[in-house]
Amino acid sequence: MNLCDLFQQKKCVLSFEVFPPKKSSGVESIYRTLDELCALKPDFISVTFGAGGTGVKDNLTVELAGAIRARGVEPLAHLTCINSDEETLLGLLDRLEEAGVRNILALRGDRVEGAEEGPYRHANELMERIARRGGFNLVGACYPECHCEAPDPLHDLQNLRRKQEAGATHLITQLFFDNRCFYDFAEKARIAGVHLPIEAGIMPIVNKRQIERIVTLCGASIPPKFARMLSRFEGDPAALRDAGIAYATEQIIDLIGSGVEGIHIYTMNNPAVARRICENIATALDCVNGGGAA
């Protein structure tokens, strides 16, 4: 199915993200992870691009997307373009189609130093190429706190408009820890003429190393309440895990109550954490989606 149909069927969609293992020794564990995540019955699961290589034959994204579909959940395959040539991209699209995957999150991807850039240097260009080929529903990424390479928020919103014009049918945000950033961004996106459903990307922080890495990579701001939590519990791994789950739960409940169209949980391949959050938010989701008391 096309993921855009989900937003016609539900007030608030729930989805997960997983990533392929970096080493072949992790392949068996990722399938156990998929078993547990699919049992939670999300509306779809996205698979990040690569880790197993960027060639047509060895890209694990295709394999895992097919495995998700075989488990009865709709897959969303990430596809990046910055370091891929035309032949590789078209080959991956063919493989995804053969695997029954119909939804693609089109991304530029991170530049690799010394690698030759491909013919498509921006996500909207990749979307346009996929749209010309046909056969796929397109999803785009967006950035509540502005893309790190954008000169200013206005340029970032203009880029978002280009994704909409290129054929994106819904958007997924980069992770954030301050819901006010999301609300401000969503309002500005609507004013700028972006009218696609926007899923809020939430990452439960369950260890100190995770937050240090995430802030370095994406530059998400740390609100005072979150900083106090990290400082209070950083010496106790179990307490930090529980506090991180509680914080993510509070974020999600607030978002659902404010009318967010979807929640996308960055699971970090941790089904136990995803399960606890799903248990915490189940009644709120049921309520807005018509499965619980009004």
- Of 48-62, 69-83, 107-121, 131-145, the poorest mean pLDDT is in 48-62
In the predicted structure, residue 293 carries a pLDDT above the cut 60 = no
293 falls within a domain: no
Q: pLDDT: is 203 or 212 the higher one?
A: 203
- Position of tokens 């696609």? 196
Q: Which of 189, 201, 193, 195 is nearest to 255 (CA)?
A: 201
Would you give the DSSP letter of residue 57? T
CA dist., res. 143 & res. 173, Å (int): 5
d(CA 15, CA 264): 5
190 within some domain: yes
Q: Say which residue the tokens 């007030």 belong to.
A: 11
Q: What is the pLDDT of residue 56?
A: 40
Tens-place pLDDT, residues 144-160: 998 888 888 899 999 99
In a domain, 119, yes or no: yes
Nearest CA-CA partner of 189 in 152, 157, 143: 157
0.75 surpassed by pTM: yes
Does residue 294 fall inside a structural domain? no
pLDDT at 58 over 80: no
- Average pLDDT on 53-58 reads 44
Instruction: Express as a percent the part of the chain with pLDDT over 70.
Output: 92
Q: Which residues contact 65 (CB under 8 A, 6 or more apart)?
A: 47, 75, 76, 77, 96, 99, 101
In a domain, 17, yes or no: yes
Q: What is the DSSP letter of 77?
A: E
- The overall average pLDDT reported for the chain is 91
Closest by CA to 251, choosing from 239, 238, 240, 264, is 264
Residue 264's SS3 state is strand
Residues 6+ apart with CB under 8 A from 45: 15, 16, 17, 18, 34, 37, 38, 68, 73, 74, 75, 76
The CATH number linked to 221 is: 3.20.20.220
Domain ranges, residue 161? 3-288
Q: Please tell me the total count of domains within the chain.
A: 1
Active site residues: 17
- Separation CA 174–CA 190 (nearest Å): 18
> Which pLDDT belongs to residue 54?
46
Taking CA atoms, 225 is separated from 254, 271, 277, in Å, by: 15, 26, 19
